[in-house]
Amino acid sequence: MTGDSEDPNDEVQYHVDVGEGDVANAVLLPGNPERVEKITRFWDESKEVAHHREYRTVTGEYDGTPISVTSTGIGSPSAAIAVEELARVGADTFVRVGSCGAIQPQMDVGDLVITTGGVRQEGTSDEYVREDYPAVANHEVVSALVAAAERLDYDYHTGITMSADSFYAGQGRPGFEGFEAAGSDELVENLTAANVKNIEMEASAILTLANVYGLRAGAVCSVFANRETGEFMTEGENRAAETASLAVKLLAKMDATKAEAGVETWHPGLSLE
């Protein structure tokens, strides 16, 4: 199935190449298309429904709960396209599942970071709303991710994430031939002092768009590097994948509990058992 028109009202979306009925209400959003299989290995069943450009979409079930995953590629512009087009075909809950660099010394490689809000250093969300509009994770998604990490006994941290538009200059790394952007030598130090937990490239745009559109969104990232200690290792992908998948099941329980109680918002007084 390939969308051959960029009309947002078309049945098949132009970039992600999905239509109504192809995705579940909740969609996990990794960047790397190769991470899709690392996520779906935790599911009971899965079927690829589209693969166009960097956007690979698989839909299935996790412990009886409908769930989808769509890879978004690198950066906020392509992540925003995924949110836009998936929302148009019925998705209303988004969980970024990614990797990140930690900038607090007590955080270990392999730990999880559950984002509560974002520093909008990416430019994509600026094209949607004024720059002082906050990038805030939905509290139900945060609660579900924390509960999932607790149940799986994975080490995790919660807090503010900075989302950049570049891997090198925008994250305080030297560019080609040692180029250093203005202020890059102080960037990580200043963020660390402000208790920002990690740096990645998509979360704040996803959170901002979700809030603008009245959708739910959150993010869980595996720590691949600690910029303070210099430690680097590609570990923890499976933990983030399993945590996000279980969180979708818990969100479905939250929604059922809310409906039974006749309330619109889940709170700790409502049981998830």
Q: Which tens digits make up the pLDDT trace of 85-112?
A: 999 999 999 999 999 999 999 999 999 9
Catalytic residue (one of 54, 85, 200, 202): 85
For residue 237, name the pLDDT band (cuts at 50, 70, 90).
confident
What is the CA 50 to chain-centroid distance, rounded? Answer: 20
pLDDT at position 34 over 80? yes
Active-site residue, 15 included: yes
Active-site residue, 173 included: yes
Active-site residue, 56 included: no
Domain extent, residue 228, equals 26-258
Among residues 116, 125, 92, the alpha carbon closest in space to that of 208 is found at 125
Count up the domains in the chain and report the number. 1
Catalytic residue (one of 51, 88, 139, 173): 173
Active-site residue, 85 included: yes
Q: Is residue 10 part of a domain?
A: no
* H or E stretch at 206: helix 203-213
The H helix count followed by the E strand count for the chain is 6, 10
Q: Is residue 20 part of a domain?
A: no
pLDDT at position 22 over 60? yes
pLDDT at position 271 over 80? no
Q: Is residue 148 part of a domain?
A: yes
Catalytic residue (one of 227, 237, 239, 242): 227
Identify the CATH number of the domain in which residue 243 sits.
3.40.50.1580
Q: Is residue 264 part of a domain?
A: no
For residue 236, name the pLDDT band (cuts at 50, 70, 90).
confident
